[in-house]
């Protein structure tokens, strides 16, 4: 059992699938917690949930990196439609990964800046909530294409058109 887990951790596609819920589901739970903390007007709860938003948005980085490393192996395992969904998934991730980093920076600022300037707390937290909503939408958009790569049962629409100029990394 332990040997199979360790073997899986050496495969980037396995690690990608293992970690990919963090920047979507983890962020969603953290974001909901932050909204509740704002409603409760608890700065301590806001700091705790901002830290969770920070960690879950930063988790997009290893998910992205392991996804990039896994591209060729996943490509060899999929069919033609899956290949097009894989390219779409990769393109979406490449285009939108920055929003996760921006949310991480903003979350860190919402934790640290109010230490010196307490009145900045509310606007920064509201900004994190708004950017968090946009980030969740982007994460869902990326994940939507990713779920269709190997899961034919989720393919309820045609695959994206094949891009003649798309180069495989």
Phi-psi label, residue 41: left if phi above 0, alpha if psi -120 to 50, beta otherwise? left
The closest of 26, 14, 111, 11 to 60, measured between CA atoms, is: 26
> Encoding tokens for residue 143?
């994940």
State the pLDDT at residue 5: 62
d(C-alpha 21, C-alpha 39), whole Å? 26
- pTM (predicted TM-score): 0.87
Measure the CA dihedral 103/109/110/114, to 10°. -170
Instruction: Residue 65: name the closest of 19, 4, 108 by CA.
Output: 19
Q: Tens digit of pLDDT per residue, the chain (169 long)?
A: 777 666 756 788 888 888 999 999 999 999 999 999 999 999 999 999 999 999 999 999 999 999 999 988 888 888 888 899 999 999 999 999 999 999 999 999 999 999 999 999 999 999 999 999 999 999 999 999 888 886 666 666 777 887 765 555 5
> Would you tell me how many other CB atoms lie within 10 Å of the CB of residue 92?
18
31 neighbors 57 (Cβ within 8 angstroms): no
Q: Which residue from 163, 138, 158 is spatially nearest to 148, judged by alpha carbons?
A: 158
Close Cβ partners of 29 (under 8 Å, ≥ 6 residues apart): 52, 56
Q: Measure the CA–CA gap between 68 and 146, rounded to whole angstroms.
A: 13
């Amino acid at each position: 059992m332990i040997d199979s887990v360790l073997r899986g951790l050496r495969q980037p596609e396995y690690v990608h699938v293992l970690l990919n819920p963090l920047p979507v589901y983890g962020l969603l739970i953290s974001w909901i917690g932050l909204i509740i903390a704002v409603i409760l007007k608890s700065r301590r709860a806001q700091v705790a949930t901002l830290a969770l938003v920070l960690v879950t948005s930063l988790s997009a980085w290893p998910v992205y990196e392991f996804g990039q490393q896994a591209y060729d192996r996943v490509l060899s395992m999929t069919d033609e439609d899956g290949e097009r969904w894989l390219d779409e998934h990769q393109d979406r991730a490449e285009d939108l990964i920055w929003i996760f980093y921006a949310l991480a920076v903003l979350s860190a600022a919402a934790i640290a800046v109010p230490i010196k300037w307490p009145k900045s707390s509310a606007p920064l937290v509201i900004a994190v909530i708004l950017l968090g909503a946009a980030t969740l939408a982007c994460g869902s958009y990326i994940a939507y294409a990713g779920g269709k790569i190997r899961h034919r049962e989720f393919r309820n629409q045609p695959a994206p058109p094949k891009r003649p100029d798309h180069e495989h990394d």
